[in-house]
Structure 1
Amino acid sequence: MARKPYITPEDYLTTEREADFKSEYFDGEVFAMSGASRARNLLVSNLTISLGTRLGDTCSVFPSDMRVHVPASGLYTYPDVSVVCGEEQYLEDAYLDTLLNPLVLLEVLSLSTGKYDRGDKFLFYKSIPSLQQYVVVESQRPLVGVYSRSTDSTWLFQEYKGLGAVLPLPALNLELPLAEIYRRITFPS
């Protein structure tokens, strides 16, 4: 079996900045990202709007077009929502399109991405020194999981279930009602 050619991070970034679609990069390989469903797009929109409204000018809330680099693993990826409070840090180039210091990352899970987002992707994300919370939002039911970094750098996991629940985000000093996150979402029966 022929080996795939190794692509350097620099070649990936050059191609990615000119591409008509987004791709992730890991370990010399490029992975095209698929389109998103109505539910996933609404969830990302609801999260972005809710966080942006509550945070105002105190933090920057980025939708899924902001690339994040995880230096420890070499991963370049596009979280569904990224939040930075304080000074934003980027790759040292002129583009300001690859974020290095997210405080909170949020991913909306789909049937095809859920295992990766909860597994390997979380393992990569937790190596980001600035990251304090990683939020995974189910798209098939009102259920949100939160991984939070403790003071001893271990990670704690909590789940919030049902439209009456409230998601605490102490890293951002705010709470989000699940009813707001899941506004206009129809769940499969």
Structure 2
Amino acid sequence: MIAEPQNHQKMSPEEYLEWEAKQELRYEYIDGEILAMTGGTIPHSKIYLNFYTALRPHLHQKGCETYVAGVKVQANENSRYFYPDLVVISNPLASE
């Protein structure tokens, strides 16, 4: 069973990270609001995999790392955490 935030109250980034770590599904965090991730579609998966396949060789030559789905990204300090379809890290040492 999935525990949902009580009464749709806003959470702090710390509360979200602690809460989400205990969940079976993934959730995004946008300015205190918690949003459940929806399931993908086959056309959507084809698009981002084709995009990844086309970009990866070029980015790899430049020393970048690329990841497909499942990687949590913090966009702005204390405001947004989300799971994009494709992540490119231009400075791999910064991700460790």
TM-score, length of structure 2 as denominator length: 0.74
2:19 alignment partner, one of 3, 8, 15: 15
Distance in 2 separating the partners of 1:73 and 1:9: 6
Extract structure 1 runs of 4+ deviating beyond 3 A: 87-90
Distance in 2 separating the partners of 1:16 and 1:67: 11
How far off its partner does 1:27 sit?
A: 1.9
SS at match of 1:30: strand
SS at match of 2:40: coil
SS at match of 2:70: coil
How many residue pairs get aligned? The number is 89
Distance in 1 separating the partners of 2:43 and 2:30: 27
Tell me the residue number matched to 2:66.
61
1:48 alignment partner, one of 48, 52, 55: 52
Tell me the residue number matched to 1:124.
none
Tell me the residue number matched to 2:83.
78
Q: Which runs of 5+ in 1 are unaligned?
A: 91-95, 97-189
Contact residue 66 and residue 88 of structure 2 kept, 8 A: yes
Is residue 2:31 matched to residue 1:27?
yes
Distance in 2 separating the partners of 1:62 and 1:19: 22
Q: Which runs of 5+ in 2 are unaligned?
A: 1-6
Query: Which amino acid in structure 2 is aligned with residue 89 of structure 1?
Result: A
State which structure, 1 or 2, has the greater radius of gyration over its C-alpha atoms. Answer: 1
Contact residue 65 and residue 92 of structure 2 kept, 8 A: no
TM-score, length of structure 1 as denominator length: 0.41
Higher helix share: 2
Distance in 1 separating the partners of 2:22 and 2:53: 28
5 Å-filtered alignment, 1:34-183, equals 34-56=38-60, 58-71=63-76, 74-90=79-95
Q: CA RMSD in A?
A: 2.2
Identity %: 26
SS at match of 2:49: helix
Higher strand share: 1
